[in-house]
C-alpha cells in the first residue's frame, strides 16, 4: 500500500524543524532533514516536504524533488500568513501539489555567515521604510519590523490544521489506490 512515509524538511535556524517535529508528533510520521540518508526508502517515496523561504525560494525543495515525491509542500517564512503570499510562493517555486505557507519566526542571533549577510540586505528596504515612521508601514510590515528587531516565533499547531486535513485526505486516497 502506498503511503506518506516521512516528513522531510530543510531548516536553517530551527523554525521549520519545529513545525516538522510538531507535525510528526500529531500525525505520527517520522520527520527527517532532507539531507539525511539514514532511512532507506525506495526511490521517490511519497513525503510531506517543509522548507524555509529565502528571498522567495523554498530551500531544500530541489533536493526533496530529486530524492522523494513531495505530495504536500509547506514553506516557512517570516511574512505573516495570507493566501496572496502563499499563491506568490507557489508560483515562484513551480508548485503543482497542495501547498501551504506557514509563518515561522526570526532569531537574528541564529543567522551565520552568508545568510546573515544576505538577511541584512533583504531586510534593509523595510527597515529603511520603518525609519520614516510607523504610519508608512502596513500592519503586516509593522509585524515584520518587530520580528526583525525583537525576534520571535509564530510556530503553533493551529497554523498546521489545514495541512493536517489535507494529509488525512491524501492518506485515505492512497489507501484506496
The residues binding ligand FMN (CB under 6 A) are 11-17, 52-56, 76-79, 104-106, 111, 115, 118-119, 122
Distance CA 119, CA 138 (A): 21
Helix H or strand E segment including 145: helix 139-150
Question: Of the two residues 86 and 170, which places its CB atom closer to ligand FMN in the complex?
Answer: 86
Burial class of 1 by CB neighbour count within 10 A (0 to 12, 13 to 18, 19+):
exposed
- Please identify which residue in the block is written with the cell numbers 515525491: 69
Handedness of CA 78, 79, 83, 89 (dihedral sign): negative
Q: How far is the CB of 51 from ligand FMN (least distance, A)?
A: 8
3-state secondary structure of 21: helix
Q: How far is the CB of 92 from ligand FMN (least distance, A)?
A: 9
Question: Of the two residues 11 and 170, which places its CB atom closer to ligand FMN in the complex?
Answer: 11
CA of residue 84 relative to chain centroid, distance: 16
Question: Of the two residues 34 and 53, which places its CB atom closer to ligand FMN in the complex?
Answer: 53
Residue pair 46/64 in contact by the 8 Å Cβ criterion: no
Question: Of the two residues 118 and 173, which places its CB atom closer to ligand FMN in the complex?
Answer: 118
Grid coordinates of 16: 521549520
Distance CA 74, CA 67 (A): 17
Grid coordinates of 149: 528587531
Q: How far is the CB of 8 from ligand FMN (least distance, A)?
A: 13
3-state secondary structure of 97: coil
Question: Of the two residues 49 and 170, which places its CB atom closer to ligand FMN in the complex?
Answer: 49
Q: How far is the CB of 123 from ligand FMN (least distance, A)?
A: 8
Q: How far is the CB of 173 from ligand FMN (least distance, A)?
A: 29
Q: How far is the CB of 124 from ligand FMN (least distance, A)?
A: 12
Question: Of the two residues 77 and 98, which places its CB atom closer to ligand FMN in the complex?
Answer: 77
Amino acid at each position: 500500500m502506498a503511503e506518506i512515509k516521512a516528513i522531510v524538511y530543510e531548516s536553517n535556524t530551527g523554525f521549520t524543524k519545529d513545525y516538522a517535529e510538531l507535525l510528526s508528533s500529531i500525525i505520527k510520521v517520522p520527520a527527517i532533514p532532507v539531507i539525511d540518508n539514514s532511512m532507506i526508502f525506495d526511490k521517490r517515496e511519497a513525503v510531506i516536504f517543509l522548507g524555509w523561504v529565502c528571498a522567495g525560494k523554498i530551500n531544500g525543495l530541489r533536493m526533496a524533488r530529486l530524492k522523494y515525491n513531495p505530495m504536500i509542500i509547506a514553506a516557512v517564512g517570516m511574512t505573516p500568513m495570507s493566501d496572496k503570499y502563499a499563491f506568490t510562493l507557489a508560483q515562484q517555486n513551480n508548485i503543482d501539489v497542495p501547498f501551504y505557507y506557514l509563518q515561522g519566526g526570526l532569531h537574528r542571533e541564529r543567522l551565520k555567515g552568508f545568510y546573515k549577510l544576505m538577511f541584512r540586505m533583504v531586510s534593509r528596504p523595510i527597515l529603511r521604510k520603518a525609519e520614516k515612521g510607523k504610519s508608512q508601514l502596513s500592519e503586516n510590515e509593522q509585524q515584520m519590523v518587530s520580528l526583525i528587531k525583537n525576534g520571535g516565533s509564530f510556530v503553533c499547531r493551529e497554523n498546521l490544521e489545514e495541512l493536517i486535513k489535507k494529509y488525512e485526505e491524501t492518506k485515505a486516497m492512497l489507501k484506496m489506490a
